[in-house]
Amino acid sequence: MGFSVASSSSLWYCYLNKSPASKGLRKTVYVDGHQKLTVKLKIPGLYTPQSRRSCCCELEGIDFEERTSPAEVKKEIERSYDLIRRLGRGVVYLGSARLGPNHPHYALAFELGKEIANLLNCTSWSGAGPGLMDAVTKGALEAGKPVGGFKISKEAGEWTATNFHPYLPPQNYLTCRKHGLVDAAVRASSSDKTAVVALPGGIGTLDEAFEILALIQLERIGSLLPVPFLLMNYDSFYSKLLEFIDDCESWGTVSNGEVSSLWKVCNTNAEALTYLKEFYAGEVSHNLIDKYGFRLCHTRNLIHYGDNGT
């Protein structure tokens, strides 16, 4: 569907340089191989290649195709939610696509994926890409547990389309991947054993990690029960980031202890497994105490309990 657009005076004022005076200027924009926009500008004869001046250009017409992305995004999100319903919620892993099998963090991620899958007996979710995402996926598969993911075509600056897990829906829109990863971690009941695990990674990992962290902070993640968030600080990988957060506290951009209350920093796999065991064992204890009349007090990711209102 095309239509024409013109300004109130049917003129554009353009600042041009190095364009042949006799031929004018024609600009065509392509998106995904389809022509989206064509603009023709008539250049006055006074214009010369050596000069730079403001000139008056008549707008002949602009053709736009009707945008289809809203409907496509909706379909992809629905497919993501359907996949989660079929495979079940579980542990969501965020991590670098660049660290391959020869990197020491790959072996650590593989073991962590296997051990957590056995511990929580749940589905393991990731971006279904290479690197550390591949490591945790293979670890969970070795444990005999289901895996799922939301793959985009480009990871770590390279095109990495793969059919290794053909049932995973390809994502054209990054927002759908993010919706899927969040929904896979939320807990609708105490039987849901989930977690978010941030492995070492770059811009994409930090983007997803802090987006989920912000949702937890603002209590907008949509989970009825707390979701444990683990930051895997292998070989002090995230130590500089943690120092930056300390600086933010000094500047007053975050409250003292605010971020540390939202996640658990783990230097080893053993620390992560111990934390998850205690997290879910403690939740069972809280449920038993609540059953016998003790009061429960919920604060974000932690649940404190006690008798006599303490």
Sorted by where each starts, the structural domains of the chain and their CATH numbers stand as 11-58 (no CATH), 69-302 (3.40.50.450)
299 pLDDT more than 60: no
Percentage of the chain beyond pLDDT 70 is: 64
Average pLDDT estimate for 253-263: 96
Q: H helices within 7-131, ranges in order?
A: 69-87, 104-120
Q: How far is CA 141 from the centre of its chain?
A: 23
pTM exceeding the 0.75 threshold for the entire prediction: no
Q: How far is CA 106 from the centre of its chain?
A: 20
Using alpha carbons, list the distances in angstroms from residue 82 to 19, 75, 86, 150, 183.
54, 11, 6, 12, 11
Please give the pLDDT value at position 64: 53
User: Helices 269-291 & 104-120, crossing angle to 10 degrees?
Assistant: 20
11 pLDDT more than 80: no
Please give the pLDDT value at position 233: 98
Average pLDDT estimate for 246-264: 97
175 pLDDT tier (thresholds 50, 70, 90)? confident
